[in-house]
Chains A and B, each alone.
Chain A
Amino acid sequence: DAKTTQPNSMESNEEEPVHLPCNHSTISGTDYIHWYRQLPSQGPEYVIHGLTSNVNNRMASLAIAEDRKSSTLILHRATLRDAAVYYCILRDVGANNLFFGTGTRLTVIP
C-alpha cells in the first residue's frame, strides 16, 4: 500500500486558514486521496477525497498537485472544533480498507 507522509503536528490561530500538507510520492494511478479527521474521544470522520482535480465541500478544500505526489487539505477558517488529528490516506479504487498513518495533530489557538 502506498504510504503518506504528514507533519506530526501543526498549530493555527482561530478563524485563520489552515493548510495541512501530505506527501504521497508512490501514489498509483488508481489511488484516491482521502482525508479523515479524528476529534478527541470520537471515531474518525470523513472530510474529503479526490483523484486529480481540486475538490471543495462544506468542510474543506483539497488541492492536489499536478503530478499527484502531494496534496493539501485546506480549512478556510479554523475553529476550535477543528482541533483533531487529520489523516491523509490513499485508497485504491474498489478497496474499502483504509490504511491510516500517524496523521497531523492540529491545535487551534483561540
Chain B
Amino acid sequence: KAGVTQTPRYLIKTRGQQVTLSCSPISGHRSVSWYQQTPGQGLQFLFEYFSETQRNKGNFPGRFSGRQFSNSRSEMNVSTLELGDSALYLCASSVDTLYNEQFFGPGTRLTVL
C-alpha cells in the first residue's frame, strides 16, 4: 500500500505570494490532518478534514486554509506569505478519528524569502 504522498517536496516563495500544497492520503483513509513544524514552535496542528468537511482547526490565522476533495486528497493554501511561514508542512491521514494511528507523509519544505 502506498504511503501518504505530498507534493511538492520543496518550495521557495517570496513574501506576499500564496502557495498551495497537496496531500494524497493512503487509499481508504478519509481523514487528513495538516501540521506545521518549525524549530521554534515545534509541531503544531493546523486543521483536519474528514469527508470533505473541516472538523478541527488549530490556532492559525485565516491566511491558512484547506480543503478536501471527494477522493480524500487534500490541499492547503497559505496566502500573503510571511517569512515566519517558512516551515515543514506535514500531512497525516487516518481511516477515521477513533483510536486509529495517523500516518504522516514526508512533508513539504516551504522557504519564504
A residues bordering B, Cβ < 8 Å?
Answer: 32, 34, 42-46, 49, 87, 93-103
B residues bordering A, Cβ < 8 Å?
Answer: 4, 31, 33, 35, 42-45, 48, 50, 55-56, 58, 90, 92, 94, 97-99, 101-107
Which residue, B31, B44, B102, has most C-beta atoms of chain A within 10 A?
A: B102
Question: Are A96 and B90 in contact, with the CB atoms below 8 A?
Answer: no
Q: Is the interface of B mostly helix, strand, loop or mixed?
A: strand
How many A-B pairs have beta carbons closer than 8 Å: the answer is 57
Q: Is the interface of A mostly helix, strand, loop or mixed?
A: loop
Question: Are B106 and A42 in contact, with the CB atoms below 8 A?
Answer: yes
Question: Are B42 and A46 in contact, with the CB atoms below 8 A?
Answer: no
Partner of B105, one of A32, A43, A95, A97: A43
